[in-house]
Structure 1
Amino acid sequence: MLSKFQLLKISAAFSTPTLQKGHSLQQIVAFGSRMGPASYTTSSRLIFRQMFEKESSTYTYLLADASHPDKPALLVDPVDKTVDRDISLVKGLGLKLMYAINTHVHADHVTGTGLLKSKLPGVKSIISKASNAKADRFVEPGDKICFGDLFLEVRATPGHTQGCVTYVTGDGPDQPQPRIAFTGDALLIRGCGRTDFQGGSSDQLYDSVHSQIFTLPGDTLMYPAHDYKGFSASSVGEEMQYNPHLTKDKETFKGIMANLKLPYPKMIDIAVPANMVCGLQDFESNL
């Protein structure tokens, strides 16, 4: 068993948002055994970075296959304001960005997908078919997004919006373990996305999380699109045990969601129209 001092050293190694106070002792030990402080990966094959945009509290994720000659990569939920940062990281790591993908049509920020496509020719945009947004490729439940010999599995998790999906790293001996779920706004750390606009449904969200996310192995690492409390990651097992909303029965959950009394999202009137067309807009007029 590691000493308290050793555990603190492991936790401190993840000073860029990766492991923080939302993790159990078992998870910290597990991460420490798999991840070097300079790599932030879950295996020697998967390059993985978590990046934060503070204005909208959005996480963007970079994944790449380090074992493939081209080091193909993808970005999950890029933000327009941090596109240059993301491109700098991609180039600095010697990666080839193939895809810019979104978990849903965001209401609190403009996606960076359109800017990435304009600055890195050849990058393809991906979003769910159910979103009715524009993209180069539309995905449906069960589809795979391949980058090198690694892939993400697509799971439909509507409820926050009709087009929400969760992307999960592949299941198999040649895929990184433990698995990783990028849950968008469907499941947040000790919370979930609101359900009062964009075709949201608390009934549907409850079923989505329980059937598509909570059925994953308990050690599946869970990375959301946002966090507002300083947490950076959780696990399926932790959320099944501690999530204050989704551990309730469905009727109680629906009552909680109906009484949140949240303010109207300040960016929604700009973000949603822009994101429906892949984030492509007259950026100069909005700077």
Structure 2
Amino acid sequence: MIFRQLFDQQSSTYTYLLADGDTREAVLIDPVFEQTRRDAALVDELGLRLLYTIDTHLHADHVTGAWLLKNRTGSQIAISAASGAEGADRYLSHGDSIAFGARQLRVRATPGHTNGCISLVLDDETMAFTGDCLLIRGTGRTDFQNGNPHALFRAVHEQLFSLPENCLLYPAHDYRGLTVTSVAEERRFNPRLGGELCEDDFAVYMTNLGLAHPRQIDVAVPANLKCGVAASDPSLTPQSEWAPLTYTFAGIWEIHPQWLEEHLQSVQIVDVREPDEFDGPLGRIPEAKLISLGSLAKRAAELDKERPVVTVCRAGGRSAQATVMLRQAGFEDVANLAGGMLRWRAEGRVVENGSL
């Protein structure tokens, strides 16, 4: 099985990708709106087919990426039937299963943080995804969205602490950099409901937390009630349609060599190799301007911010870093030549000064 744990720093949200290694069918748990590019790029790079996005509950601290991913990949949206959300393709109830290839996630209702919270347990009970129900040495809050500390205490003990002790638990959030825990650890060490603490202890604890409301609640909840539907978001697409670009999981916009060869006059080509490479046997792309990576920050002002920039190097690594530097310098339309001059020459594209 393929498994990836992804993180959104702004909301401290974990998103989880699971896929069957044979069929390449995948599911994505708790996607974040602003991370749609990242998640879709990972799915593409791993050669997966995204069947479902699953939200463990109606989030109050970020907008789900479910709708955007559905539009991009054709995935279906799944969420609890008790969530109150509109526009999902599948509404989940306790005992349901979500299949991806030969694997399954089994739904357990775990209300209390909200009344529509679910946890997802892998078929062999080695992993469970707890949403905001059970966090690492903590729990989700219970003071809004029909939260109930008594319901949450019972849900954790009946649905999660009943799993095997070595079952790994993956929460939807962590604010201290912790990534995973286990049933045995939380049964013993969770300071809110582990050990000998009883339901009344927990209820009093939660009632007196005195937390401020999440900063994004007024935006996130209405959007999530519609499964993240949005007309558009400029942060998720290139700011201009100057070329067909591909976004990589590494966070780099890339351009295809064929398009570049056909549009050499319409872009600025910046070769970030060293001078001996620029004049060496691999040759150089016609119209390319040599600005070695080490001097790019100082010489970026030589480029026109109104014209798109394509960066190139030997294999695409240094030029990928160059795109990051140029964006930091205020250039909006920037792309890396994927594969660099090695790919350019392998495809037989036009060069100057080459001898291979």
Structure number, greater radius of gyration: 2
Q: Secondary structure at the match of 1:131?
A: coil
CA apart distance, 1:286: 9.2
Alignment partner of 1:194 out of 141, 157, 160: 141
Is 1:85 the equivalent of 2:32?
Answer: no
The corresponding residue for 1:48 is 3
1:281 aligns with 2:233: no
Change (3 A) 1:145 1:57: same
Aligned length: 233
Q: CA deviation at 1:210?
A: 0.4
- Measured after TM superposition, the shift of residue 283 of structure 1 is 3.9
Identity of paired residues, percent? 53
Question: One-letter code of the match for 2:80?
Answer: S
The DSSP-based 3-state class of the residue aligned with 2:6 is strand
Superposition pairs for residues 178-217 of structure 1, below 5 Å? 179-217=126-164
Hey, what does 1:246 align to over in structure 2?
A: 193
Q: Which consecutive residues of structure 1, in runs of 5 or more, have no partner in the other structure?
A: 1-45, 172-177
CA distance in 2, matches of 1:158, 1:59: 19
Q: TM-score, normalised by structure 1?
A: 0.79
Q: Report the aligned-residue RMSD.
A: 1.3
Name which of structure 1's ranges 240-249 and 54-63 shifts more when overlaid on structure 2.
240-249
After TM superposition, the structure 1 = structure 2 runs for residues 20-169 of structure 1, keeping only pairs within 5 Å, are 46-68=1-23, 71-120=24-73, 122-134=74-86, 135-169=88-122
CA–CA separation in structure 1 for the residues paired with 2:45 and 2:15: 17
Deviations 1:131-169 (A, max 9, x none): 121210011010000001100000000000000000000
Quick one: which amino acid aligns to residue 278 of structure 1? Answer: C
Q: Under a length normalisation based on structure 2, what TM-score does the superposition of the two structures give?
A: 0.64
Equivalence for 1:219: 166
- Deviations along 1:245-278, whole A, 9 cap, x unmatched? 0122111111110110101111011000100111
Query: Following superposition, which runs of at least 4 residues in structure 1 exceed 6 angstroms of deviation?
Result: none
Provide structure 2 residue ranges, at least 5 long, that are not aligned to the other structure. Answer: 237-356
Return the offset for 1:236.
0.8
Secondary structure of the corresponding residue to residue 139 of structure 2: coil
In 1, Cα distance between equivalents of 2:71 and 2:218: 23
Counterpart amino acid of residue 145 in structure 1? I
Structure with greater contact order relative to length (CA < 8 Å, sep ≥ 6): 1
